[in-house]
């Protein structure tokens, strides 16, 4: 019988630590190094979103410099799903969104930008790297 488990085929990285954002400061993820993996998926989770008219846009950027000094917005052709589908509003308490990247650049990051957010919005994001060049994958501590 073939195992359906993905445990040894993925690496999970912290992108945006859980935060309660009470303003319009952009939440910029860690820079994710995709070396050794053929795909990455960002998972965004919301908790309570208190403001009654807040919206949150999503941007994925990539580049070849480890500090992303060469960052550029990812063209739609290199995204799996759309940034609009990953975006959310005040009405999306306790929901999950996702957006994938299939481009060729080594480094990728996610930015979530609040608009009209004057109250607490609980948000976090993780990056799931998959399709490893070498398996089984041992989870990094970082």
Rounded mean pLDDT for each run of 10 residues along the chain, 142 residues in total: 82 97 97 97 97 96 98 97 98 97 97 96 98 92 73
**Cα–Cα dist 85/97, whole Å:** 8
**Cα–Cα dist 133/105, whole Å:** 16
* Region 10-132: CATH code: 2.60.120.380
Domain ranges of the chain: 10-132
pTM (2 d.p.): 0.94
Phi–psi pair at 9, nearest 5 degrees: -115, 5
**Cα–Cα dist 62/55, whole Å:** 24
For residue 1, the model assigns a pLDDT of 53
**Cα–Cα dist 33/28, whole Å:** 15
For residue 5, the model assigns a pLDDT of 87
The count of other CB atoms within 10 Å of the CB of residue 141 is 4
């Amino acid at each position: 019988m073939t195992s359906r488990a993905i445990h040894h085929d993925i690496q999970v990285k912290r992108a945006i630590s859980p935060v309660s954002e009470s303003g319009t400061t952009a939440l910029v993820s860690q820079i994710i190094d995709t070396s050794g993996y053929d795909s990455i998926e960002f998972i965004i989770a919301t908790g309570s979103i208190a403001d009654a008219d807040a919206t949150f846009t999503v941007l994925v950027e990539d580049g070849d410099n480890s500090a992303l000094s060469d960052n550029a917005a990812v063209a739609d052709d290199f995204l799996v799903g759309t940034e609009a589908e990953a975006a959310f509003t005040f009405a999306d308490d306790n929901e999950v969104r996702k957006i994938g990247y299939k481009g060729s650049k080594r480094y990728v990051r996610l930015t979530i930008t609040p608009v009209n957010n004057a109250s607490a919005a609980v948000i976090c994001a993780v990056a799931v790297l998959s399709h490893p060049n070498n398996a089984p994958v041992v989870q990094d501590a970082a």
